[in-house]
Amino acid sequence: MKTTGGSDDAKRRAGERAAEEATDGMVVGLGTGSTTAHAIRALGRAVDSGLDIRGIPTSFQSRQLAIEAGIPLTALDEVETVHLAIDGTDQFAGRHLIKGGGAAHTREKLVDSAAERFVVVADPSKQAEVLDHPVPVEVLPDAWTVVTEEIAAKVGGEATLREAERKDGPVVTDNGNLVLDCDFDEVRDPAMLALDLAAIPGVVEHGLFINLVDTVYVGTDDGVEEHQF
Ligand code: 5RP
């Protein structure tokens, strides 16, 4: 699993706090990343102790973790309601997020948006006054050069094709697509940028999550801060 900024203890506190929200009968969206992994493990321990939930994974990684943790799985098209989604973030400013550090933001957005309640787990390194992290954009494989040019010409950003580690060539998402990491410097109007990116042909999904989150749990050295929206 990739590692990101912030201590593992802080991530664990946030993940375990979010997992406490799951109650019997819930369908729970399972996000991706090292912080959500702590929530998935905590949910697995709770299932072991009798908690009756079903999980909807958002990636190959979260599916594998959930299987290892013993969480019964279902799928978005098999349920009427997703009661709770727990997911990580690369950066948050107020209620807006940038996600996709794990190249899973397309399925994450699908599941997180469908949930009645969406909670984010983070460490203090993820909090910002103004979003300025590169925005991951999943694109159809043969669209990457065209989308790169459109982003430079029409949206004012610099797109870089995400390269894989321990594989030659680019990262290929769970959906068989590529990822552009797009630098816009400071994102002063995330909602407008989200609309501009979504309008580019060839873009499958971008990593801006606008006004979706209900609570952000930030794990710290000695506790958990709650940001309610
Ligand atoms: C994956 C994501 C992750 O939630 C995000 O990258 C945060 O990961 P981590 O908890 O490892 O810092 O958006 O696509």
Ligand 1: list residues with CB < 6 Å: 4, 31-36, 87-90, 99-105, 108
Q: Are residues 154 and 202 in the same domain?
A: yes
Q: Which 3-state string (H, E, C) describes 154-174? A: HHCCEEEECECCCCCCECCCC
Give the distance (Å) from ligand 1 centre to CA of residue 198: 21
For 151-200, write each residue's pLDDT tens digit: 999 999 999 999 999 999 999 999 999 999 999 999 999 999 999 999 99
Q: Each residue of 71-124: pLDDT tens digit? A: 999 999 999 999 999 999 999 999 999 999 999 999 999 999 999 999 999 999
Say if residue 16 is in the same domain as residue 106: yes
Q: Give the helix ranges, DSSP H, for the chain.
A: 8-19, 34-48, 60-69, 105-114, 144-150, 190-198
CATH number at residue 18: 3.40.50.1360
At 2 the pLDDT is 59
Residue 6: the pLDDT is: 81
Mutational pocket test of ligand 1: of 16, 36, 138, the residue with most ligand atoms within 8 Å of the beta carbon: 36
The torsion angles phi and psi of 115, rounded to 5 degrees, stand at -80, 145
Q: In this structure, are 113 and 168 located in the same domain?
A: no
Q: Supply the pTM of this predicted model.
A: 0.97
Choose the catalytic residue: 20, 78, 80, 108.
Answer: 108
Residues 119 and 155 in one domain: no
Eight-state DSSP code of residue 151? I
User: Range of 51's domain?
Assistant: 8-128+210-228
- For residues 92 and 120, membership in a common domain is answered with yes
Residues 120 and 152 in one domain: no
Beta-carbon contacts of residue 80 (< 8 Å; ≥ 6 apart)? none
- Is 73 in the same domain as 115? yes
Is residue 213 packed enough to be buried (19+ CB in 10 Å), middle (13-18) or exposed (0-12)?
buried
Q: Based on the residue annotation, tell me whether 108 is a catalytic residue of this protein.
A: yes
Q: What's the number of domains the chain is made of?
A: 2
User: Do residues 169 and 224 share a domain?
Assistant: no
122 CA from centroid of ligand 1 (Å): 9
120 and 17 both lie in a single domain: yes
